[in-house]
Amino acid sequence: MRKQTRSTTTTRDVQDEFSALQESMTANEYAVCYEQERLPLVRFLIYRGAAPQDAFDAAQHAFVEAWRRWEHIHNPRTWLRTVAIRAVAKANQPTVPLNEQYDLADSAPLDSQVSEETLDLVAALRQLPPLQREIMVWKMDGFTPSEIAKELGISAEAARQGLHRARENLKKMLFPRERGGS
């Protein structure tokens, strides 16, 4: 009888150690994800049109929700962006025009210093039609047209076409040809 008890106790000890190891690995994976994705997520939301503070708040909300559901999340990058997009929408804040009201350099979501080119890009992105802007922002964040299509509920061809149109529109906005010849 004691042999069975020892064997059972040993098995429980191993199971407890394994559970503790799994929890530790989960916490480490989450911490790595947080470090790698926090600022890119904020940048993604700003490029979509969110005000910097709203972007920070929505990113924080997404990471809190991710911690609660971490074991069930299969693709953290996509999941975080989807939850953060919903958080911005839920905040019911209108898109804020890029002006002196928000100094992107002071809020530092785009690394330590924001260049004039980045400000121009954000302004141009905000002028794109909503679907083109959405597709371009996902692409800028490293997603393929197939992944974008899946997340937006459109066909891969529609994503590629939207990406092409967004690039063409951005090119026209950011690099206008001088009038009166070449």
Q: What is the pLDDT of residues 87-98, one digit of tens each?
A: 999 885 455 554
pLDDT of residue 106: 47
In a domain, 181, yes or no: yes
Would 84 be classed as within a structural domain? yes
Confidence of residue 9 (pLDDT cuts 50, 70, 90): low
User: Do 74 and 137 fall within a single domain?
Assistant: no
The CATH number given to whatever domain includes residue 59 is 1.10.1740
Across residues 69-94, what is the average pLDDT? 88
Same domain as 19, residue 94: yes
User: In this predicted structure, what is the pLDDT of residue 110?
Assistant: 47
Q: Is 104 a residue whose pLDDT tops 80?
A: no
Asked whether 162 and 131 are in contact (CB, 8 A), the reply is yes
Quote the CA–CA distance of 54 and 52 in Å, as a whole number: 5
Same domain, 90 and 38: yes
Would you say residue 43 lies in a domain? yes
Q: Are residues 98 and 19 in the same domain?
A: yes
Q: Say yes or no: 99 and 131 in one domain.
A: no
Helix axes 2-48 and 76-90, enclosed angle (nearest 10): 60
Instruction: Find the DSSP H helices in 52-109.
Output: 52-69, 76-90, 104-107
Following CA atoms 89, 153, 76, 81 in sequence, which dihedral angle do they give, to the nearest 10 degrees? -20
Higher pLDDT, 69 or 8: 69
Domains held by the chain: number: 2
Is residue 144 predicted with pLDDT exceeding 50? yes
Residue 138 in any domain: the answer is yes
Statement to judge: residues 160 and 80 lie in one domain: no
**54 domain residue, yes or no:** yes
Q: Report, as an integer, the average pLDDT of 108-124.
A: 73
3-19: average pLDDT: 61
In a domain? residue 171 = yes
**Residue 107 near residue 53 (C-beta atoms within 8 A):** yes
Q: Which domain holds residue 133?
A: 127-182
Q: Are 78 and 144 in the same domain?
A: no
Q: What is the pLDDT of residue 177?
A: 79
> Same domain, yes or no, for 80 and 156?
no
Task: Name the percent of the chain lying above pLDDT 90.
Answer: 59
Dist. CA 46–CA 38, nearest whole Å: 13
Which domain-ending residue is among 103, 119, 136? 103
Residue 100: predicted pLDDT = 41
Indicate whether 85 and 152 sit together in one domain.
Answer: no
Q: Which two tokens stand for residue 98?
A: 């890029």
Predicted confidence (pLDDT) per residue in 42-71, tens digit: 999 999 999 899 999 999 999 999 999 998
In a domain, 115, yes or no: no
Both 136 and 91 in a single domain? Answer: no
Residue 150: inside a domain: yes
Which pLDDT band, with edges at 50, 70 and 90, does 179 fall under?
very low
Res 113: pLDDT: 59
Q: What is the pLDDT of residue 176?
A: 86
Provide the CATH number for the domain around residue 167: 1.10.10
* Arithmetic mean of pLDDT, 78-83: 96
Backbone dihedral region of 32: left (phi > 0), alpha (psi from -120 to 50 degrees) or beta?
alpha
